[in-house]
Amino acid sequence: MILDRFRLDGHVAVVTGAGRGIGAATAVALAEAGADVAISARSADQLKEVATRIEATGRRALVLPADLSDLDAAAGLARSAYDEFGRLDTIVNNVGGTIPNAFLDTDTDYLTESFRFNVATAHALTRAAVPLMLAGPASRTQSVVTISSMLGRTAGRGYLAYGTAKAALAHWTRLAATDLSPRIRVNGIYVGSVMTSALEFVAGIPEMMDQMETGTPLGRVGEPEDIAAAALYLASTAGGYVTGKMLEVDGGIQQPNLDLALPDLA
C-alpha cells in the first residue's frame, strides 16, 4: 500500500531544535511513523515533554540537551544516537534562526554567527553522522533533511543575515546531495510563516497577523505539522526518488508577508 512508503519502522533519527515548534512536531511525526528519535535543544524540560509524546507512540526517545552553536556538541549527537540505538538512518537539521536587523546594524560578526548557527551546525552533525549511516546495509533508506526558509530564495528588508544563511543552507543541501549519493539522500524545505515561538509576538497583534494571512495565498499561517509532514515524506521511501531538492512548504508566498517597517537609508 502507498501509505507503507511513509513508514520508518525500526529506523533511528536525530532531530535538532526539537524542544518545540517544527523540531518537536517533526520528531513526533517520525516516531508515529515508527522511528526511535534522538532529540536535542537547549532546554531539557522542553525536550522531556517531547520525549513523553514520542514514547506515547510506542517508540524510544533519547534526550540530548545541548547548545548546538557549539559545533562539537552538534557533531556529538550522531555518536550518541548510534551508541544508544545501534543504527542511524535520518538526520533532520532543524536548529537555526537569526533575529532580523537593519543593514547597518548587521556587522560581520552578526553575519558570521548567523552562518555558523544555520549552516555550520548542519554540516558538523551531518559530517559526523555519515560514517555511522554508511555502517548499515546499503538497502536502508537513509536521508538528511534540512530546514531552510523562503527567505533563502526571496528578498525582504531586514533579513540579510538570516536570508543569506538560509540560502547557503539550501545550496549546501544540493551540494551535499551530490557528494552523498547514491547511499544517502539529502533534501530540504523552504519553510514559510509557521506559528512557532518565533512568531509569538505577532500572534498578539491582530494587524500583523492579518498582514501575514492576507499576504499568503492560502490565507493562513502554517502549523508545525505542515512542515513535519514534508520532512516525513523526504525521510521515508515515499521520497525515495528525490535528492538534492528543496520543497517549498510556504502557503504559496512569493515574497515576505511581514513588513518590518524598516525605513529607507537617509
* Three-state secondary structure of the chain: CHHHHHCCCCCEEEEECCCCHHHHHHHHHHHHCCCEEEEECCCHHHHHHHHHHHHHCCCCEEECCCCCCCHHHHHHHHHHHHHHHCCCCEEEECCCCCCCCCHHHCCHHHHHHHHHHHHHHHHHHHHHHHHHHHCCCCCCCCEEEEEEEHHHCCCCCCCHHHHHHHHHHHHHHHHHHHHHCCCCEEEEEEECCECCHHHHHHHCCHHHHHHHHHCCCCCCCECHHHHHHHHHHHHCHHHCCCCCCEEEECCCCCCCCCCCCCCCCC
Query: What's the CA gap between 16 and 240, in Å, rounded?
Result: 22
Angle at 145 between CA 139 and CA 148, to 5 degrees: 165
Instruction: Pick the range with the lowest mean pLDDT from 101-115, 188-202, 249-263.
Output: 188-202
Please name each of the domains of the chain with its CATH number.
Answer: 2-246 (3.40.50.720)
Q: Enter the C-alpha cell of residue 28.
A: 513526533
CB 39, CB 64: distance < 8 Å? yes
Q: Is 82 a catalytic site residue?
A: no
- Could you tell me what percent of the chain has a pLDDT over 70? 100
Residue whose entry in the numeric block shows the C-alpha cell 548567523 = 114
C-alpha neighbours within 13 Å on the C-beta side of residue 82? 18
Catalytic residue among 159, 162, 190, 233: 162
Report the pLDDT value the prediction gives residue 196, as an integer from 0 to 100: 83
Res. 202: pLDDT tops 80 = no
Average pLDDT over residues 144-173: 96
Report the pLDDT value the prediction gives residue 261, as an integer from 0 to 100: 87
Q: Enter the C-alpha cell of residue 170.
A: 539550501
Q: Enter the C-alpha cell of residue 59.
A: 517508540
Q: Report the candidate in 74, 84, 144 with the shortest Cα–Cα distance to residue 116.
A: 74
> What pTM value is reported for the model?
0.95
The confidence band for 140, taking pLDDT boundaries of 50, 70 and 90, is confident
CB 92, CB 16: distance < 8 Å? yes
What would the pLDDT profile of 65-87 be if each residue is shown by its tens digit? 999 999 999 999 999 999 999 99
Q: Is 23 left (phi over 0), alpha (psi -120 to 50) or beta?
A: alpha
CB 43, CB 94: distance < 8 Å? no
Measured in degrees and rounded to the nearest 5, phi and psi for residue 61 equal -125, 140
The mean of the pLDDT values for the chain is 95
Res. 182: pLDDT tops 90 = yes
